[in-house]
Amino acid sequence: MSDAPSMPMQPDSTHLDGTYLDCTYLDYNATAPLLPAARQAMVDALARWPGNPSSPHQAGQAARSALEDCRARIAALLGLARREIIFTSGGSEANNLLLRGMAAPGAHYLVSPLEHPSVLETCAALAGQGVVVEYLPVNADGVVDVAALPGLLCPETVLVSVMTANNETGVVQPIAALTAAVRAHQGERHIVVHTDAVQAFGRIPVTPADWDVDAMTLAAHKLGGPKGIGALALRGNLHPRPQITGGRQERDLRAGTESVFLAAGFASAAEEACAQRETRMGHIDTLRRELEQQLLRLSGTRIHGAGATRLPNTVNVGISGVAAESLVIALDLQGIAVSTGSACSSGALAPSHVLLAMGLSEHAAREGVRISLGWATTAEDTASCAAVLVAEAVRLRERNARAAS
């Protein structure tokens, strides 16, 4: 679930409070630049806790204590117990741990067709192993039809998985209502409800207990933490089969030496993002709305998911007659980094599966450009993006018209 900036790193540049991005960076849903506080926490951890957290000696136990402190800090932000946080290498691994760890021939999974590839491709692989996978209907704004869910449950249903907020459109799903519908119709059995909250955590309130979900996926790098670490929050006694074996780390769920310095960066970034969420996201939401107003002045422009509740930082815009891939390249050449959708699908020529699920044609789905703002985004950044995007879209339209004539 990670991505690299499209512009080269320039050691003599000093943008974004010390990062070296020599561009207007508006691809936070792919990955956020590292927060200075997270960077410092990682440097301190590297110096202070060199031991293996599984070692019995003092250095190892000091590292273990630091790791568990990080785990507890992240858990507290979610209203969970420390033991309910399982560290992974990121969101994709966390999704795989749950989906594969609960799989059995004949088991029935209900997922949305809007999910991250780490869910959809894993479900496709599991379908080849006897798991029955069914997809929930969604409306034109990309919101799951909760009313349809009870009719899709069956005695074999063991898992329902719907992401909290979409990585391409920013559309926020009614997770509490969805879970309530599952609980009302599950009978005496317990159906596990999972939500991938990678894009939501630190941007909107995320409350696993209030939503009554059993499992939640998190990733550090979306909110200004380091790449290479995420978590699967498992409430209660849920214990999927481990997918990485060879050690008893992480409650016997994930073998391998834990990284204390990555955990320190994750905890620091999560605390800052949550502490400043209301102020920071209020500012970002204002920038997003102003950006959308500027873009909508161009004829043939549409904002995907505009009728739904969305993350404050995400715009998915389609401009009629302008392919997203061409527009993203044109913006990159002008020093503005945006994307066509999921970073894990970069390089794919297929239209967005999210926009297709929302009912767009293949042609229209190829026009979706994602612009995502974050902690270092300024009004100048979004104003520049709007001006350059409109100018490049007009240029590309004119070029396409000449080519067609």
What is the chain's length? 405
In b/e form, how buried is each residue of 324-353, taking b as 16+ CB within 10 angstroms? bebbbebbbebebbbbbbbbbbeeeeebbb
**Which of 85, 66, 338, 340 has the alpha carbon at shortest distance from 201?**
85
Instruction: Decide if 101 contacts 241 (C-beta within 8 A).
Output: yes
Distance (Å, whole) CA 369 – CA 187: 43
**Which of 162, 110, 166, 163 has the alpha carbon at shortest distance from 133?**
110
Question: Residue written as tokens 């004119």?
Answer: 398
Instruction: Decide if 119 contacts 95 (C-beta within 8 A).
Output: yes
If you compute the radius of gyration of the chain from its CA atoms, what whole number of angstroms results? Answer: 21
Distance (Å, whole) CA 109 – CA 215: 14
Distance (Å, whole) CA 293 – CA 306: 12
Instruction: Decide if 134 contacts 126 (C-beta within 8 A).
Output: no
H helical segments located in 276-343: 277-295, 324-333
Instruction: Decide if 385 contacts 336 (C-beta within 8 A).
Output: yes
Question: Residue written as tokens 């990062």?
Answer: 19
Question: Residue written as tokens 């767009």?
Answer: 360
Sheet with 314-319, side-by-side order of all strands: 301-303, 314-319, 368-372
- Catalytic center residues: 344
Instruction: Decide if 289 contacts 333 (C-beta within 8 A).
Output: no
Intra-chain end-to-end CA distance of the chain, in Å: 42
DSSP structure class, residue 27: B
Distance (Å, whole) CA 147 – CA 238: 27
